[in-house]
Structure formats: C-alpha cells, structure tokens
C-alpha cells in the first residue's frame, strides 16, 4: 500500500513526542515517524510507478493548503490496530478538499476515507484508557503551517519514495 502523506514540521513532531512521554503505557510513534495521511493509494492492480504518475496528474493544479493543529483528541475504538489512539486534531478545509479530489481519482478505503476521513497526527496508541483520556484535557497552543508538497510513502518498505509539489 502506498499513501500520500503530509510532511510534519518539527514543532508538531516534538509536541506529539512530548505528549507520548506522558502516556508511558502506550506505544508512541518512533522518533521522526510522525505523519498525516492525505490519501491511501492501493497498488494492487498497477505498479507503484503508475499510481504515482496518476497522483501527480491529479495534483498538478492543486493549491497549497493551510493546516492547523487545534488540540488533542482520540479514537476510542479505531478502525484497526490497538485502542485507543490519541492524536493531534487537525483543522484544514483545504486538506479535506484535497482528500476528496484524490478520492474521486482513486479507490476510497471504507471506514477510513471519504466522509470518514479525519486528518490527524498520531501521538500514541494502545495504552491504558485513563492515562490516554487525561491527555485530552491538555491545552495546547495551535500550530499552523502551509502544506506545499505531499510525500509518497511506501508502507511495505517503510520509506518515502518521492514528493509532489502543490500550488
């Protein structure tokens, strides 16, 4: 599976790492691996290079988008993996528009994408609920940035395989 990910600025990654340290029973994201999925791209029927070329075509005229971290939230019962998942909540109408554009061009993953899409940066998952719930009460300073590129991520090999510019 490939995905198009939003590169995460250092201050967002630091915030996520700092919060994860406050939830020691959970499994944090490894340092430097914080990300935000814009769209998953299945490569089952086509080579990755074909999927990447199609994504570049779809994104050719897409503008850069403003993104804002607004707080801490969680998925009490995530679609997959261990529960709960504590994350940094993201506000971005432009990212939702971009996601819809990509959903029109590529298969939509049920229960994760389309109307179900929740852009977020995972802090940690799978720890005790009481400690995770306490993180939800944390007040954080909003962090804003402009996303002017997306990264192709190859999950099978856990590597970034290229980038595509927006705007």
> Whole-model pTM?
0.93
50, pLDDT greater than 70: yes
Spatial contact of 24 and 130, defined as CB atoms under 8 Å apart: no
Cα distance between residue 99 and residue 77, in whole Å? 23
Instruction: Quickly state the pLDDT bin for 47 (edges 50, 70, 90).
Output: confident
**Mean pLDDT in residue range 16-25:** 94
Instruction: Quickly state the pLDDT bin for 48 (edges 50, 70, 90).
Output: confident
44, pLDDT greater than 80: no
Residue 60: which CATH number? 3.90.1140.10
Question: 75 Cβ partners below 8 Å, 6+ apart?
Answer: 83, 84, 85, 87, 118
Q: Give the whole-number percent of the chain exceeding pLDDT 70.
A: 98
Spatial contact of 51 and 43, defined as CB atoms under 8 Å apart: yes
The predicted structure's pLDDT at residue 32: 62
Instruction: Identify the H or E element spanning 76.
Output: none
The predicted structure's pLDDT at residue 68: 98
Spatial contact of 161 and 153, defined as CB atoms under 8 Å apart: yes
Spatial contact of 15 and 49, defined as CB atoms under 8 Å apart: no
67, pLDDT greater than 90: yes
The predicted structure's pLDDT at residue 30: 66
| Structural domain count of the chain | 1
The predicted structure's pLDDT at residue 31: 59
Range of the domain at 134: 2-165
Spatial contact of 136 and 22, defined as CB atoms under 8 Å apart: no
- What radius of gyration do the chain's Cα atoms show? 16
């Amino acid at each position: 599976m490939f995905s198009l990910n939003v590169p995460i600025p250092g201050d967002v990654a630091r915030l996520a790492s700092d919060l994860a340290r406050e939830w020691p029973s959970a499994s944090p994201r490894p340092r430097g691996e914080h990300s935000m999925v814009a769209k998953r791209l299945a490569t089952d029927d086509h080579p990755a290079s074909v999927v990447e070329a199609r994504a570049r075509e779809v994104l050719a005229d897409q503008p850069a988008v403003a993104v804002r971290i607004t707080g801490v939230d969680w998925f009490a019962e995530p679609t997959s993996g261990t529960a709960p998942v504590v994350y940094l909540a993201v506000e971005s109408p432009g990212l939702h528009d971009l996601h819809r554009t990509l959903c029109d061009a590529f298969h939509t993953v049920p229960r994760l994408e389309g109307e179900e899409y929740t852009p977020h940066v995972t802090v940690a998952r799978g720890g005790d609920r009481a400690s995770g719930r306490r993180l939800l009460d944390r007040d954080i300073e909003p962090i804003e940035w402009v996303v002017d590129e997306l990264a192709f991520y190859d999950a099978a090999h856990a590597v970034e395989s290229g980038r595509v510019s927006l705007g």
